[in-house]
Every structure is written in structure tokens, then in C-alpha cells.
């Protein structure tokens, strides 16, 4: 791999790993399994070793992401680092270096840090971003097993995991009628429960806290080993995570024994933690930028199953992209039966050397999404279809950035129409409710619509729509009302609704703002004008101009505009007061419903909002201007003004209502 390609791959790995970590730590969801995350992480680590380059904010050197809840925040007394990991149980023996270790369950919950002072629980923090946590003291006080008072009268700081057991998880989900509203797994439920603003809800969910590490104590007691520390914590009434002493000769066998017990555990665990028992030796090892050297995590592999590949189904999209989907003999994974998995693109299909009849190994990413882990046969006989499976027109194989993808080039392909109209009515576009892909397909099949503009003519087809399966007068009236509401829309949402290549909602806002929200100027924009807009590259600019240069696209846009009233943002009519200014927002806000509303408020007035404080930042908005948060510290180091929300609004002469 050439140096440039390696660097590009590293950037892509950064993006994927950060997206996964943000979803896991901030949104309490999972978009990839540990299996996938570990593989990508190891690939990035290897590329960094090969190139000698570590990009800014690399997942291999920075722990965690910005916390986004409205809970108060506070810095940890010591950074909370991730653990280095292995899936090789034999490697654990070498890691011990001939010493005694303590092996415990790696619980899959939410990390908490509890502080006791003068025998009373005075503070509880979440892990947060590793440096700053959310204060959840009121919630921790109603955990099922946390003592509010302990015998030790000094200051004691202990780290552990808050978890919800499988049985409690099943009980809570059993009380929720709607399938889509049920919680995906115990960790997601626990994370949401621990961070409740109302601790009455927390109390109802029987959260357990398992102490894992004694972080600090003052005055110190003479405790020479981790085992002695655990015994001391237990003597204070804390429930400690189960742990046992091991040696290089017994560690692999003990791991095997614990693995056998895993299915019978009522608490969620995604592996084990091995730490040196001797505290003095452990502390002498120090730490790397990413990991402490005194502990290592052993991760369980994802549950996999072997099965036969029966078919490859090809699924078309609004852009003409046709993705392969593997259909295999049904297998049981993570408690459910699965029989299909997305393959994403032709390159992945070829990389797996797939062929009908092959024996493949499958697993469930995030314990939800079926994926193919490996092909044990590797016949490589599967080929992309020469004709679109929906319209029957010839397909084209394209390669971009070494990724092969299959496309249908027929502009009238029914699949394109369904997906294109579904995009048009989406929440961030025209926001027309009641139009699922299935409903759009019915309307197309009944020839009640042929393109997006026909949605504004549905009032002329009342009898036919009311008679459609799954419809009725009430559904028809709701749909009509939603269509009518969509007739007034901002230029940016309209532009985004068209599905112009490379134009997301944020980019659409940038473009519309640059042309004073005048849609005719936007549609006539030349590539050189677009490139002059910060954030628009040459490829996007060329694709944008080419889209509106095509007569069919232009006519469809103008037809849609004949049904719409474009509502210009508040400050668009005159000079934008925040033009050229860059802001970062952190902490609570009081004059807006949340930070997203404040962000939109700034953008409507010409300003730009970013997630990180840099030398290009003009203002950091933080109502706690004296905070010692990492953003405040960076702002002070760079000479960036830290202002409160009140000061920001005063600069604008007050908030318009």
C-alpha cells in the first residue's frame, strides 16, 4: 500500500471508529460489533506503526468523546483510560511476566466513580469523555446495592460499573407493548437509566453497582495488593465484581472456566479484566497515552455460526446503486433466527470470494445486524448481474477509491422513483408524514403519482386513495394535511429534498446562505462560485452544477417550486450579523430548547458552529465561563473569547421571539 493510500485509509478508519465510539458513548447505541471495532482499531494501529504518523485525535491516543447530556459536569481526579486488549488467552500468561494477577469479569454497563467523604456518599460521576464526567449523585443514591454510609471516615474514591441484569431487562421490556420502543440490550437501558434527570425512574429499575477499582483514599491504609483492596471495599458494604487470583500457569484454564459460566450469568459481560495483584509493581509500570500498563482486557469473540450461502439478492436505491444482500440457510444467533445479511458493495463480495453453495461464517454486528465474517469455501463464482433486477435495463460497474459498486443507469427505474420520493418526503427534507416506501410504491403502481410533484395533486384522487389497502378516509385526510403543511419550506430543505449528489442538509444551508436564500441563483450557480464557499470541494461543485444543467432535473425543480412557498430564514433578508464568525457551544443553554436550536440560530445569521475549539474559533459559548473543562482550557490557551449565552445575545441586541 503506497504512503498516500495508507494515509487515506487511516483517515477513513478514524471516521468509522469515531462514529462508532460517538454512538456508543454519547447516544447509547451501537453501529458495529466489538468484532468489527477491534479489527478496524488493530488495522489503524498497524498503519500508524508502519507510517510513523498519528493523526490528530486518533482513537489510539485519545479516550472518549464530548458528553452531550444536560447533567452537570465535573473533572475526574485522574483520567479514565481504556484498557489494552487481547483475544488470545495464552497471551495472558506471557503478559503476567511470572507474577500473580487478579482476573475479574469485564462488565458491560456504564462506568461510575463514587466518592465517599466522612462515611457518606457525596458524589457520583459517569465516565463521560474520560476526563470530565456527568454528575449523577442523586441517581447513584437510589441504586439497589450502593451503601449511602460506610465505616471508613476518610475520603474514598472507587470506580465500578452500573449494570442492569438480564432478568430486570426482560421485566422492563415486558412492560412495553410496542416492539420498536423496547430497549435493544441491558447496556443501553442502563445508560439511559443512570443518566435520568428524575431519580425516581432510576429507583424503579433496580440498577446494581459493582466496585472494580479503588482509585484513591485519604488517609491511606496499608493495602499491598488488589485483592486486599477488593476485600477492603467489600468490608465497607460495596458489592465488588467477582475476581480470582491467577498465575501464568492457571490463567488460561481459569478463563476457560469463566467462559463456561458466561451463559448462566444474569449480568452482562463482554470479557474479562486481568490486573497485576501487587500494587507497588503495578503502579511502577505507569501508562501509555492510551492505556494503563497494569491491566489488560480479554475480549470474548462474537457468536458466529456456519451456514450455506443460498442466493445473492441485489437491492436497488434512488441513486441507482445496486447493493448485494446474502441469503443463507437460517441459523440461530444471539437468540434469534437470521437468514440474510447486507454485503454493502461488489468489492466486499469479491473480497469474500462468495459463491452460491459456499459455507460462510456469520455473526450479528451489535448483536442486531447480521454480517458475514468469513467465507470458508471461497469459490468466488458470484458475479454482479448484467441487468437491473427491478427494471431489466443494463447495469454498469463503477470503481471509485478502489471500491467497486454496481449501478442501474435507467432514469425511469421504478426502484429509483420509490427511493427518490422517499428521500423527498423525509424528515430533513419536505417532512411529509404518512408516506412510507410501501405507500409510495402503492401510489406509483396505481399510477396516482409518477414523480414528487404529483404528491401536491393527491387531492384529485380521493376515492382511489381511500379505497387502497391499508388506507381509509382518516389516513387520506392525515396525508393530505401533511402535504399541505409541506407547501411552506426553507430554501435549504427544498434543495436537500431534490437529492442533488453530495448535498446533505448542512451543505444545502451553506449553499443557500451564500446566495442570499435566492433559489434561482442557487440553481444557476457555477462550479467556481460554489468552490468559493467554505466546505464545498471541486467534486461536489461540479456534480451540483451538472445536476441543474440537466434539463429534466431543472424542469422537475421548477415544477415543484410552482407548488411551494419558500420561507427565508429570519436574517436572510438583510445583512447577516454573524457572517464570518465561528462559534463552539458547550454546556447547558437557557434561552433555547437546547444546543441544536442555538446552533441553528447562529447559522441562520451567517455564523458557523463547529465541535472543537481551534485557532479559527471566534467565541466559545459556555454559561459556566469559569469552568475548567477541556474546551475552556483550550480557548484560554488560544486566546479565544469565552462568553455566556447572555453575552452572546447582548451582542445581537437580544433574542428575536
Give the catalytic positions in this structure.
106
> Omega before 219 cis (within 30°)?
yes
Cell numbers for 110, please give them: 456504564
Q: Is 215:159 a contact under the CB 8 Å cutoff?
A: yes
- DSSP states of 295-346 as a string? EEEEEPPPPEEEEEEEEEEEEE-TTSEEEEEEEEEEEEETTEEEEEEE--SH
Cell numbers for 483, please give them: 402535504
Cell numbers for 461, please give them: 384522487
Counting other chains too, the contacts that 567-572 makes at CB distance below 8 Å and 24 or more residues apart are 567/488, 567/489, 567/490, 568/490, 568/491, 568/517, 569/490, 569/517, 569/604, 570/604, 570/605, 570/656, 571/604, 571/605, 571/606, 572/513, 572/516, 572/517, 572/604
Whole-angstrom Cα distance, residue 607 to residue 600?
A: 9
Provide the Cα torsion 454, 456, 460, 464; round to 10°.
Answer: 60
Residue 595's alpha-carbon distances to 304, 582, 586, 602, 625, in angstroms, are 42, 15, 8, 11, 16
Strand partners, 618: none
Provide the Cα torsion 109, 111, 115, 121; round to 10°.
Answer: -20
Handedness of CA 198, 203, 205, 209 (dihedral sign): positive
Closest-CA residue to 202 (of 189, 193, 213, 214): 193
Q: Is 405:398 a contact under the CB 8 Å cutoff?
A: yes
| Opening angle at CA 591, ends 614 and 490, nearest 5 | 80
Q: Please list the helix, strand and coil fractions of the chain in percent, rounded to the nearest 5, in that order.
A: 35, 25, 40
Strand partners, 120: 117, 149
Q: Is 164:109 a contact under the CB 8 Å cutoff?
A: yes
Cell numbers for 207, please give them: 440498577
Q: H/E element holding 530?
A: helix 527-531
Phi, psi of 608 (to 5 degrees): -120, 140
- Between strands 582-585 and 619-621, the pairing is parallel
Strand partners, 244: 103
Whole-angstrom Cα distance, residue 31 to residue 479?
A: 32
Amino acid at each position: 500500500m503506497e504512503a498516500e493510500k495508507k494515509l487515506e485509509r487511516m483517515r477513513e478508519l478514524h471516521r468509522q471508529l469515531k462514529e462508532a465510539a460517538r454512538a456508543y458513548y454519547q447516544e447509547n447505541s451501537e453501529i458495529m460489533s466489538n468484532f468489527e471495532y477491534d479489527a478496524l482499531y488493530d488495522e489503524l494501529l498497524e498503519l500508524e506503526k508502519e507510517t510513523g504518523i498519528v493523526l490528530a485525535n486518533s482513537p489510539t491516543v485519545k479516550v472518549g468523546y464530548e458528553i452531550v447530556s444536560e447533567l452537570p459536569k465535573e473533572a475526574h481526579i485522574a483520567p479514565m483510560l481504556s484498557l489494552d486488549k487481547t483475544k488470545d488467552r495464552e497471551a495472558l500468561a506471557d503478559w503476567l511476566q511470572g507474577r500473580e494477577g487478579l482476573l475479574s469479569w469485564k462488565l458491560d454497563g456504564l462506568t461510575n466513580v463514587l466518592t465517599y467523604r466522612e462515611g457518606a456518599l457525596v458524589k457520583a460521576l459517569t465516565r463521560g469523555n474520560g476526563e470530565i464526567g456527568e454528575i449523577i449523585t442523586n441517581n447513584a443514591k437510589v441504586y439497589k446495592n450502593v451503601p449511602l454510609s460506610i465505616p471508613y471516615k476518610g475520603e474514598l474514591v472507587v470506580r465500578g460499573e452500573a449494570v442492569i441484569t438480564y432478568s430486570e431487562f426482560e421485566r422492563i421490556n415486558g412492560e412495553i407493548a410496542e416492539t420498536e420502543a423496547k430497549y435493544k440490550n441491558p447496556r443501553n437501558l442502563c445508560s439511559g437509566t443512570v443518566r435520568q434527570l428524575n431519580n425516581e425512574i432510576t429507583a424503579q429499575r433496580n440498577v446494581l453497582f459493582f466496585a472494580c477499582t479503588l482509585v484513591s483514599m485519604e488517609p491511606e491504609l496499608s493495602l499491598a495488593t488488589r485483592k486486599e483492596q477488593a476485600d477492603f471495599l467489600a468490608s465497607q458494604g460495596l458489592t465488588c465484581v467477582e475476581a480470582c487470583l491467577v498465575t501464568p500457569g492457571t490463567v488460561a484454564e481459569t478463563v476457560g472456566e469463566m467462559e463456561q459460566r458466561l451463559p448462566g450469568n444474569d449480568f452482562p459481560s463482554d470479557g474479562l479484566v486481568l490486573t497485576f495483584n501487587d500494587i507497588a509493581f503495578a503502579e511502577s509500570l505507569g501508562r501509555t497515552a492510551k492505556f494503563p500498563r497494569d491491566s489488560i482486557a480479554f475480549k470474548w469473540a462474537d457468536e458466529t455460526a456456519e451456514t450455506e450461502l443460498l442466493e445473492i439478492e441485489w437491492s436497488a436505491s434512488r441513486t441507482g446503486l445496486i447493493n448485494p444482500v446474502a441469503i443463507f440457510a437460517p441459523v440461530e444467533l444471539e437468540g434469534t433466527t437470521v437468514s440474510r445479511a447486507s454485503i454493502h458493495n461488489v468489492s466486499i463480495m469479491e473480497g469474500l470470494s462468495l459463491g452460491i453453495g459456499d459455507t460462510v461464517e456469520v455473526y450479528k454486528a451489535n448483536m442486531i445486524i447480521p454480517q458475514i465474517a468469513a467465507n470458508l469455501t471461497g469459490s468466488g463464482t458470484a458475479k454482479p448481474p448484467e441487468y437491473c433486477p427491478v427494471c431489466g435495463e443494463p447495469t454498469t460497474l463503477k470503481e471509485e477509491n478502489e471500491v467497486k459498486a454496481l449501478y442501474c443507469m435507467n432514469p425511469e427505474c421504478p426502484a429509483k422513483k420509490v427511493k427518490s420520493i422517499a428521500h423527498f418526503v423525509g424528515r430533513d427534507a419536505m417532512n411529509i408524514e404518512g408516506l412510507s416506501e410501501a405507500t409510495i410504491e402503492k401510489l406509483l403502481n396505481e399510477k396516482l403519482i409518477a414523480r414528487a410533484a404529483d404528491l401536491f395533486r393527491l387531492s384529485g384522487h380521493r376515492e382511489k386513495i381511500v379505497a387502497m389497502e391499508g388506507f381509509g378516509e382518516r389516513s387520506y385526510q392525515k396525508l393530505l394535511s401533511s402535504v399541505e403543511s409541506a407547501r411552506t419550506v426553507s430554501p435549504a430543505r427544498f434543495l436537500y429534498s431534490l437529492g442533488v449528489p453530495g448535498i446533505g442538509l448542512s451543505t444545502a444551508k451553506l449553499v443557500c446562505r451564500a446566495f442570499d436564500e435566492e433559489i434561482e441563483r442557487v440553481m444557476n450557480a457555477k462550479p467556481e462560485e460554489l468552490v468559493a464557499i467554505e466546505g464545498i470541494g471541486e467534486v461536489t461543485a461540479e456534480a451540483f452544477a451538472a445536476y441543474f444543467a440537466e434539463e429534466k432535473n431543472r424542469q422537475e425543480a421548477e415544477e415543484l417550486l410552482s407548488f411551494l412557498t419558500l420561507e427565508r430564514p429570519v436574517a436572510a433578508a438583510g445583512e447577516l450579523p454573524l457572517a464570518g464568525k465561528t462559534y463552539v457551544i458547550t454546556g447547558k443553554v437557557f434561552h433555547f430548547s437546547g444546543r441544536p436550536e442555538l446552533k441553528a440560530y447562529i447559522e441562520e445569521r451567517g455564523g458557523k458552529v463547529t465541535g472543537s475549539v481551534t485557532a479559527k474559533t471566534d467565541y466559545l459559548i459556555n454559561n459556566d465561563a469559569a469552568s475548567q473543562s477541556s474546551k475552556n482550557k483550550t480557548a484560554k490557551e488560544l486566546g479565544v473569547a469565552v462568553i455566556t449565552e447572555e453575552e452572546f445575545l447582548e451582542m445581537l441586541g437580544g433574542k428575536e421571539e
